[in-house]
Every structure is written in C-alpha cells, then in structure tokens.
C-alpha cells in the first residue's frame, strides 16, 4: 500500500529530530526576565477540512505566527501559508510560503520558497530529496538560495528502545566551509528519552525528556560550546502538552 510522501518539511525530519529538536534554542525575539530567556509555542491542527486538506495554526510568542493549509494524497504534498515573522528592526514582517513534495513513501523530491512581502523579495529558496527505508533515512537539501548543501542520515538501531543514530554534513559553497554534527538517542524507560549531539565547531548538547500519561512532557536540555571560552554553558527547561 502506497502512503503519502508527506510535506517538504518532512525531508530529513528523523535526523533533525535527533540532532536539533528540543535542544537549548531560542528564536531571535523572545521574552527576557533577569537571567532567563523564554517563549511559548501554541499549535492547533484541523484534520480533513475536505478530503485531502488539513489546516494548521502555529504561534511562537512573541516571535512569529502562521496559518497553513496542506493538501496530501498518495503522491503529492503541497503546503501554503501566510504568517508574521519577528524582525528586531521592523517589528513583524508578513511572509508567504509555498512548498511542494512529489514522490512516494520511499523516495520524494520537493522545493520550498518564501516571499518577504514588505521587501518583495524571495526570502528562502530551498530544494531537496529524501530516501526512506527500514534501514536508512537519508536526505540531501540545498538552502540559503542554493548556497548551503546539507546531507543527513538516520538509522534506527532498536525500535523498542527508540535507539537511533544520526549525522548531518553541512557545506557552504561561498565560505568553502564544512561542518559535521553527529548524535544519538535512547529511551532509558518507555517514557524517558535521552539525546546527545556534538559538532565539529566544538558545540555539545544533551536532552532528557520525561513523558507523563503520553500527553505531558518535561524536557531538560544543556549546551556548551568548547570552541568559545567566552560563553557560558546554557541550560533550558520546557514543558509540552499535546
């Protein structure tokens, strides 16, 4: 049975989940109180408005927000959204985003483009393909108007313990620089997930996520940059209700 290839942002999703999701990261615009930086994410998805169509509302307070419409069938995934993105100098900029993905659950190819409405310029232009199998999930994508090349791979070692390894290679065509990030994850207990990553610039991070009742999650994350002795280690805590 053939299933939908998903949407463009699913390209390399499993590897990105191991290497980037839930680590100590803040959007450019966030709240600050004493020594803490914080923000809040809200999301709501409506399934099957009409056959094949889904809608999604997502807001990151105070950084950005968007309303998205998705169309999915066995071979195509198309998304279109309009949103507001935080800009430190201008406040909030309206942005239009379109993406398309064609293929199957095994192999897919797609592109993504974003338009900055105030400046009437193309803000993002990305393209890539994804390969999925029971053994390996691999992707190759172009970012920053085709100036940056990223290759990712993900391998699930043990599905029962969610044990997996992932790697990402990033190459800048203009800067002639290459960066590598490797990481792994493992569920110590069914509701306790541990992740860690390290990159060639000397940045290391770790995540411990504890789930309760399969709906509520508490995540603790830490990050240290061994390549920059002037920065201090970062620690973050997040809570999610799904």
Burial of 28 (0-12, 13-18, 19+ CB in 10 A): exposed
Q: Provide the pLDDT for residue 114.
A: 93
Q: Model confidence over 29-79: pLDDT tens digits? A: 778 877 778 888 888 888 877 788 889 999 888 888 899 999 998 899 999
Query: Cα(43)–Cα(49) distance, rounded to whole angstroms?
Result: 17
CB 69 within 8 A of CB 55: yes
Q: How many residues are present in the chain? A: 242
Instruction: Report H helices in the chain.
Output: 13-19
Residue 33 vs residue 203, higher pLDDT: 203
Q: Provide the pLDDT for residue 1.
A: 40
CB 127 within 8 A of CB 142: yes
Helix (H, G, I), strand (E, B) or coil at 162: coil
Average pLDDT, the chain: 90
pTM: 0.89
Q: Model confidence over 210-219: pLDDT tens digits? A: 999 888 999 9
What structural domains does the chain harbor? 8-241 (2.40.160.10)
Sign of CA dihedral 47, 161, 220, 230: negative
Which residue(s) pair with 169 in the sheet? Answer: 151, 180
Q: Provide the pLDDT for residue 224.
A: 92
């Amino acid at each position: 049975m053939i299933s939908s290839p998903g949407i463009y942002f699913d390209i390399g999703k499993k590897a990105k989940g191991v290497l980037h999701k839930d680590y100590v990261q803040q959007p450019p615009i966030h709240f600050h109180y004493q020594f803490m930086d914080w923000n809040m994410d809200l999301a709501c998805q409506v399934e099957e408005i009409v056959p094949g169509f889904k809608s999604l509302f997502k807001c990151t307070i105070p950084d950005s927000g968007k309303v998205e419409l998705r169309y999915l069938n066995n071979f195509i995934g198309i998304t279109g959204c309009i949103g507001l993105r935080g800009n430190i100098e201008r406040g909030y900029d309206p942005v239009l985003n379109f993406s398309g993905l064609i293929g199957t659950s095994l192999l897919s190819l797609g592109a993504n483009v974003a338009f900055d409405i105030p400046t009437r310029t193309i803000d993002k232009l990305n393209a890539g393909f994804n390969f999925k199998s029971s053994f390996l999930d691999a992707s190759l994508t172009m970012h920053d108007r085709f100036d940056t090349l990223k290759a990712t791979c993900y391998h699930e070692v043990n599905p029962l313990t969610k044990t997996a390894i992932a790697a990402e290679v990033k190459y800048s065509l203009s800067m002639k620089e290459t960066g590598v990030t490797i990481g792994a994850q493992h569920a110590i207990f069914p509701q306790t997930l541990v992740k860690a990553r390290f990159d060639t610039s000397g940045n290391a991070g770790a995540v411990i996520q504890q789930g309760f009742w399969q709906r509520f999650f508490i995540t603790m994350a830490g990050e240290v940059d061994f390549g920059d002795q002037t920065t201090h280690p970062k620690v973050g805590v997040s809570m999610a209700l799904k």
